[in-house]
Amino acid sequence: MGNWKEITDIQSLKNAVNQSSENHLKGVLLFKHSTRCPISAMAKMRMENDWDFPEDVPSYLIKVVEHRDVSNQVQELTGVKHESPQLILLKNGQPVYNASHGAILVNQLKKELNK
């Protein structure tokens, strides 16, 4: 099981985007997850099995069905077209990496974090 912090409202999403500008963080991770989709469940499980949830990369979960308004706001705030499942890495309030479906791979995420 992962150490996700669930985002359930737009203000919490804005706080997470702003948090990505904090100097002591490598970035902020947003994971958009559909609780109705087996592909999303598989991507989430792979993340939880392979990701160590370090403190310098806060990891947030957005359930797209239950919190559609929040999910839609991600696209508005980041400019990243909506997909689900979707992984978005933010630094300084901007997306620096995103992947969806089978392209969500922890080893690739780690490479991005080490740039």
Total of domains in the chain: 1
Q: 40-85 pLDDT, tens per residue?
A: 999 999 999 999 999 999 999 999 999 999 999 999 999 999 999 9
Q: 9-33 pLDDT, tens per residue?
A: 999 999 999 999 999 999 999 999 9
Helix axes 10-19, 68-78, angle to 10 degrees: 40
Write down how long the chain is: 115
Q: Which domain holds residue 40?
A: 5-113
Cα separations (Å) of 86 from 23, 24, 39, 60, 89?
25, 25, 11, 12, 10
Supply the pTM of this predicted model: 0.95
What CATH number does the domain containing 22 carry? Answer: 3.40.30.10
**Contact criterion met (CB below 8 Å) for 98 and 87:** yes
Q: What is the pLDDT of residue 1?
A: 54
Q: What are phi and psi of 11, to 5 degrees?
A: -65, -40
Instruction: Classify 110 in phi/psi space as left (phi over 0), alpha (psi -120 to 50) or beta.
Output: alpha
CA 68 to chain CA mean position, Å: 15
